[in-house]
Chains A and B, each alone.
Chain A
Amino acid sequence: MNMQSVLSSLEKTNLRYSMFNDFLKNGEQGNSKFLFSAKDNLTSKDFETCSGSRILEGYHPVFDATAIAKMREAGGKLIGKTNMDEFGFGTFSTNSGFGIPRNPFDLERSCGGSSGGSACAAAVLEDHVSLGVSTGGSICCPASFCGVYGIAPTYGRVSRYGLIDYGNSLDKVGLLSAKASDLSKYLPIISGIDEKDPTSCVQPKLDLKKEKIRNIAIPKEAIDGLSKDVMTAFQSSIDTLKGMDIDVKFIEMPALKYAMPAYYVLATSEASTNLARYVGMRYGHQDGDLSLKFDDYFTYFRSKYFGDEAKRRILLGTYTRMAGFRDRYYAKALNVRMYVINQYKQIFNEYDAVLTPTMPFVSPKFEDISKMTPVEAYKADYLTVPANLAGTPHLSVPCGYDGNGMPIGMQFVTDHWKEDLLLTMANEWDHTFDMKRAEVSL
């Protein structure tokens, strides 16, 4: 499949998978060297940007996010904005205001979240790379569920300028692709200092020295609660890694127990303030009654256009920041965050990487997701949240398939700024692992 045929079949492909919010219709390849897509929370001049939310419907940004601008400068053509959980709030991409992306291995199952559309595009389009964004696991989770490679770099490695914030201290722009080599090809392009984003400005250069991971630690706490299929695939992958001359040891990492609640406190606290700007004046819908008092006007828009999970997280984050509760939740979560970072640092004194499965189960069916309580859904993130809380780079690679052919992934975490180790691992794993592509029939 060449680039032109990808473009000509985009509409048909999207009808089947609902992976794009907005995309090129009847597009031409022009002089572009490669095609890419971007998660819908990255602003772009030529597409509507809604971050999966109805409250932003009709928002046409006047500038490109830095990551998108850099991909264009490198010769890339942006072909569409990928569907996602509203503002990144979810693990299954079922919280979008614009339909639900479908898993390419089974249309009745989730692509994962919140970069579900990006993972789907990476899985079904040939020679395609997609920009994703991770706050608590939103690149690795969908990469795992869709059987592709995904990398979330160190916090600050890629500029967040033009990213619609979820949690400012957690959000990272990264990449998803079916080809491991694409991660090494495109991560250097989007990385680097950007004066428009001060959090991107402190970093050593991304140096591709092809350093290898020599030894790996597996926290025992991460193994509890895995489905049988995930456990089997993970054990088999450990054997493969040992065969690659990598030393693998099981360790204890007690801080992991507290990472998930600490993450949800911090992420929702930050989200509740970030989303305060969506009141029907500057972005998206502006169809309210201007004779209303401003409080009533703002409340009208927010109540009407925010989805269920967005409301839940705004309420939760507002609560955990309120006087009287702040010390118990927000301050404690900040404290736990340092505890988690410290434990990673201690492990990285002895080991090059921490390894776990990416998700505790394969992608669930939509009917099962609809029965989950919020706590059950949040618990699904317990393996991806710790590295995000610590701001450490992490990589998901496909590592097996269950009896129904659904992909299983595992996640490597390295120390801050050590993406080189992950990129080398991705390429080595690609040569070792027999990866299956989803059948794409149109």
Chain B
Amino acid sequence: MRSVGLIMDREIIERVARAAHIALTEEELAKYSQDLTDILDYFKVLDEAPDFKGSGVNPVEIADILREDEPRMDIAPDDLLRDMNTYDNYVRGPRLS
């Protein structure tokens, strides 16, 4: 495995930023590359952690709570649309292509 310092190179950080929909300036690219390199370097301590049996997403057990599939209206649609950019009750959005 390459060292963490090499992993977080310019190409990777650009790929990560594209995936996250964040445009970085040249200055930001340099800054975040360095910051993430330092942070990931610190995270290397995780490699030393013993392999513990099991892994969990939640810290306490979460039961699968389902409600009845009955339509209901908790919030009036007009309220939800109040602050949105709409036209004839459609939400305006950017071009898809």
Q: How far is the CA of A156 from the CA of B60 in the complex (A)?
A: 8
Please give, as numbers and ranges, the residues of chain A lying within 8 Å of B12 by CB-CB distance.
Answer: 319
Q: Say whether B80 contacts A261, CB under 8 Å.
A: no
User: Which residues of B have CB within 8 Å of A293?
Assistant: 94-97
Known: A58-B83, A258-B46. A339 touches B32 (CB 8 A): no
Contact (Cβ within 8 A) A290 B92: yes
Answer whether residue B70 sits at the interface, using C-beta atoms and an 8 A cutoff.
no
Q: Let me know if A322 and B16 touch, CB within 8 A.
A: yes
The one of A257, A288, A374 in contact with B94, judged by C-beta atoms closer than 8 angstroms, is: A288
Least distance between A381 CB and chain B CB atoms (Å): 12
Q: How many residues of A contact B (CB 8 A)?
A: 74
Q: Does residue B75 face the partner (Cβ distance < 8 Å to A)?
A: yes
Alpha-carbon distance between A272 and B53 when the two chains are bound, in angstroms: 27
Chain A residue with the shortest CB-CB distance to B67: A195
Chain A nearest CB: distance from B69 CB in Å? 14
Contact of A316 among B39, B45, B59, B79 (CB under 8 A): B39
In angstroms, Cα B28 to Cα A199, docked, is 37
Restricting to B20-47, which residues have a CB under 8 Å from any CB of A?
20-24, 28, 32, 35-36, 38-40, 42-43, 45-47
Interface residue? B54 (CB, 8 A): yes
Partner of A337, one of B7, B22, B56: B56
Q: A262-B46, A293-B95, A298-B21 are in contact. Are A202 and B36 (CB under 8 A)?
A: no
Instruction: Give per-residue flags for B53-97: 1 if the beta carbon is below 8 A from chain A beta carbons, else 0.
Output: 111111111111101000000110001101111000001111111
> Given that A338-B56, A390-B59 are contacting pairs, would A329 and B46 also be in contact in the complex, using a CB cutoff of 8 Å?
yes
Give the distance in Å from the alpha carbon of A342 to the alpha carbon of B56 in the complex.
12
Q: Which residue of A lies closest to B38 (CB)?
A: A375
Known: A62-B82, A265-B43. A334 touches B56 (CB 8 A): yes
- Whether the pair B55, A334 counts as a contact (CB closer than 8 A) is yes
Interface centre among A315, A329, A338, A391, by most B CB within 10 Å? A315
Do B22 and A302 touch across chains, with their CB atoms under 8 A apart? Answer: yes
> Once bound together, how far apart are the Cα atoms of A328 and B21, in whole Å?
24
Q: In the complex, A262→B56 CA distance in Å?
A: 12
Q: Which of A16-24, A278-286, A363-371 contacts B (4 or more CB under 8 A)?
A: A278-286
Whether B23 pairs with A201 at a CB distance below 8 angstroms is no
Known: A202-B63, A302-B21. A264 touches B39 (CB 8 A): yes
Residue of B nearest to A303 (CB): B23
Judge if B51 is at the interface, Cβ distance under 8 Å.
yes
Are B42 and A261 in contact (CB-based, < 8 A)? yes
CA distance A177 to B66 in the complex (A): 36
The yes or no answer to A416 lying at the interface (CB within 8 A) is yes
Q: Please report which residues of chain A, range 375-422, place their CB below 8 angstroms from some CB of chain B when the two chains form the complex.
A: 375, 378-379, 389-392, 416
The interface residues of chain B lying within 8 Å CB-to-CB of A329 are: 43, 46
Q: Which of B22, B52, B79, B83 contacts A315 (CB 8 A)?
A: B22
Chain B interface, number of residues (Cβ within 8 angstroms): 58
| B55 partner residues in chain A, CB cutoff 8 A | 331, 334-335, 337-338
- Bound CA span A416–B56, Å: 16
C-alpha gap A2/B40 in the complex (Å): 51
Asked if A31 CB lies within 8 Å of chain B CBs, one says no
Q: Say whether A315 contacts B93, CB under 8 Å.
A: no
Complex interface: chain B residues within 8 A of A300 (CB): 23
Residues of B within 8 A of A373 (CB): 35, 38
Complex contacts, B28 vs chain A, CB 8 Å:
311
- A257: chain B residues at CB < 8 Å are 45, 49
> Are A169 and B63 in touch, CB under 8 angstroms?
no
From B24, B39, B54, A338 is in contact (CB under 8 Å) with B54
User: Does A436 lie at the interface of the complex (its beta carbon under 8 Å from any beta carbon of B)?
Assistant: no
B45→A261 contact, CB < 8 A: yes
Known interface pairs A154-B60, A279-B21, A331-B55. Does A319 touch B65 (Cβ–Cβ under 8 Å)? no
Q: Does B19 lie at the interface of the complex (its beta carbon under 8 Å from any beta carbon of A)? A: yes
Nearest-CB residue, chain A, relative to B91: A281
> Which residues of A from 45 to 82 have beta carbons under 8 Å from B?
58-60, 62-63
Given A293-B97, A312-B35, A329-B43, residue A299 in contact with residue B59 (CB < 8 A): no
Q: Contact: B16 with A319, CB < 8 Å?
A: yes
Contact of B62 among A154, A195, A202, A316 (CB under 8 A): A202
B94:A202 contact, CB within 8 angstroms: no
A302 to B56, CA, bound (A): 31
A286 to B53, CA, bound (A): 47
Binary CB contact string for chain A from 194 to 230 against chain B (1 if under 8 A, 0 otherwise): 0100110110000000000000000000000000000
B-contact 0/1 string along A282-313, CB 8 Å cutoff: 10001010111111111110110010000110
A-B contact list, 15 entries, CB within 8 Å: A62-B80, A63-B74, A155-B60, A265-B46, A306-B22, A322-B16, A325-B7, A334-B56, A335-B52, A335-B54, A336-B52, A337-B55, A373-B38, A374-B35, A379-B42
